[in-house]
Structure 1
Amino acid sequence: MPEFCPTILIPTFNTGPILVETVRAAVASGFPVRVVVDGSTDGSDACLIEFEGRPDFKVHRLETNQGKGAAILHGLRAALSDGFTHALAMDADGQHPADRIADYFQLGQQHPEATIFGSPVFDSCAPAVRVGGRKISNFWANLETLGWGIDDSLFGMRLYPISPLIEVLDSTCFARRFDFDPEVAVRLSWKGVPIINMPTAVRYPSAEEGGISQFRYLRDNILLTWMHMRLLTGFFLRAPWLAFRGDNPLLHLSPSAR
């Protein structure tokens, strides 16, 4: 198996017309693209017919909505069986910049053992509640990993080595919905997978631009609170080992934003 053979993985659920823009930009990068339609009911996935038939493009469809983590896990298993070693997760809602895909893959090729975590660079249009609220989750994630180096626990643009991520997801019945990004960040850190933070501009498209958010403030914050309560239990069980294992060996690598 090659050491580094990447694909782009885009889960989508009722993303609306912006889905085709996201996929078109990803396809234009020249790298293989996979889209996992997570039980969408708005007909947005009909636009994907534009890309079907391309040798570097695949669509996987789940009959019912199972959550972001479950959709990504489905895509990971399929990608692994097709010989891919790494997957760059991108949201379908236009938040993540396709012009950074090559940068993620370049760094991933240099460090195939690592996960490349996007570290969001917000502009003035970013909702204050989203910018400020994530600081709480980031605090707990870094406590639960004893400072393994997670700049942002919620940002979804990440390049994962596929096999370790599947192992992490197979080890828990959680991390299948909005809790996916922060929970796998902590669990990959517990496994000792190195993390490199990649500063990445994040965009929040307006409603006029077709922006649609699946984030629900009360529901998802309750989910995150419950998740961190669970992870704290796991942290206390692992704390002696985490304290003596040393630092993230790639923590000093933090590429500049472009």
Structure 2
Amino acid sequence: MSESNIAVVIPCYKVKTSIEKVISDIPSVVRRIYCIDDCCPDKSGDFIEEKITDPRVKVLRNNVNLGVGGAVMHGYRAAHDDGYHIAVKIDGDGQMDPLLLPAFVRPILNGEADYTKGNRFYNLRYLESMPAKRLIGNAALSFISKISTGYWHLFDPTNGYTALHLSLLDLLPFDKISKRYFFESDLLFRLNIARACVKDVPMKAVYGDEESHLKINQILLPFLKGHLKNVAKRFFYSYILRDFQVASLNFILGFILFFFGIIFGSIEWLQSIETGEPATAGTVSLAVLPIFIGVQLVLSAINNDILNVPRAPLHPTLEDETLPPQ
């Protein structure tokens, strides 16, 4: 594979003030730049076609607003159909430095990863410019994402600076992947189900005066709901349907014992309050021991899950079968 097979995907929604500089900074190694006008009220697509003369730019349009995920997947499909092997997703708001692109592409070119994503937490110096609210929110989401996606070694799951080997598109159910702000986290979950190898790339984000379209109060519950659903689906796919193993039993028995101890102990505690009689040592033991054993079994299963992170890239064996020759 040569570096000439690299394309960039830029979802465009209210980015007229920044898109020109973003495109001008994209390295010459990139041969195609897909700008997706996601039914933008500012007509970003028309603006790009009128103002930007870079011959690499191709404007795509969504007839309805699909969200960042819908725009990115539109770009992925176009890049795949046009014969490109790697698609790098960069936002059009100027928060991502296009000059970092080689760092995202290199692990894929070297056969070390199928998908790379930015990590703004890798170096403490990178956190100086991050607003405190984003810092706390991303840290919390990162921990939840580790559980739902199975990529325990990753951080900053909502980071939108990514690169994907396009041979994996045939393994991803595009019609089921979230098209809104949960896109990055949901895509990681789908990549884990496909057993794709994912790697973090250290980066520094830029925060300027641009207006954020992400409202925490609007996405908090959908994010929690999405992660909970993915936890259940990943457990079923990975530990029941695909491979029933000791870790599967540890998860099941661990949760049964844990909740039995909680429920039984709560019932006995309430009865003790009503009757005024303290619980016997045997009753206390019957409540506490299942909790302790259950926690130990679940921790053992989680340790197995951490060791089970996909580490072998898929694309070296997929690209000859799924990508057209150039």
Q: Does the TM-score normalized on the shorter chain lie above 0.5?
A: yes
Q: What residue is the counterpart of 1:66 in the other structure?
A: 66
Equivalences for 1:30-49 in 2 at 5 Å? Answer: 30-31=29-30, 32-49=32-49
Letter in 2 for 1:16: K
- Extract unaligned runs of 5+ from structure 1: 252-258
Letter in 2 for 1:180: F
Q: More strand per residue: 1 or 2?
A: 1
Which has the larger Rg?
2
- Extract unaligned runs of 5+ from structure 2: 248-303, 314-326
Q: SS of 1:198's equivalent?
A: strand
Structure 2 distance, partners of 1:250, 1:96, is: 28
Structure 1 moving runs of 4+ over 4 Å: 242-245
Q: More helix per residue: 1 or 2?
A: 2
Pair 1:157–1:41, CA change in 2 (3 A): same
Q: What residue is the counterpart of 1:190 in the other structure?
A: 193
Equivalent of 1:151 in 135, 150, 155: 155
Q: What residue is the counterpart of 1:117 in the other structure?
A: 117
Q: What residue is the counterpart of 1:256 in the other structure?
A: none
Q: What residue is the counterpart of 1:231 in the other structure?
A: 230
Q: SS of 1:215's equivalent?
A: coil
Letter in 2 for 1:193: A
Pair 1:150–1:190, CA change in 2 (3 A): farther
Equivalences for 1:1-258 in 2 at 5 Å? Answer: 2=1, 5-26=5-26, 28-31=27-30, 32-49=32-49, 50-52=51-53, 54=55, 56-111=56-111, 113-121=113-121, 122-165=126-169, 167-170=171-174, 172=176, 174-206=177-209, 211-240=210-239, 241=243, 243=304, 246-249=308-311
Letter in 1 for 2:181: F
Letter in 2 for 1:153: P
Percent of paired sites with the same residue: 19
Structure 2 distance, partners of 1:60, 1:69, is: 14
8 Å contact kept, 1:20–1:47:
no
Letter in 2 for 1:35: C
8 Å contact kept, 1:15–1:212:
no
8 Å contact kept, 2:148–2:228:
no
Normalising by structure 1, we get a TM-score of 0.84
Deviations 1:130-159 (A, max 9, x none): 111112221122112444422221000011
What's the CA shift for 1:94?
Answer: 0.8
Q: SS of 1:99's equivalent?
A: helix
Which structure's relative contact order is higher, taking Cα pairs within 8 Å and 6+ residues apart? 1
Across the aligned residues of Structure 1 and Structure 2, the Cα RMSD in angstroms comes to 2.5
8 Å contact kept, 2:8–2:34:
yes
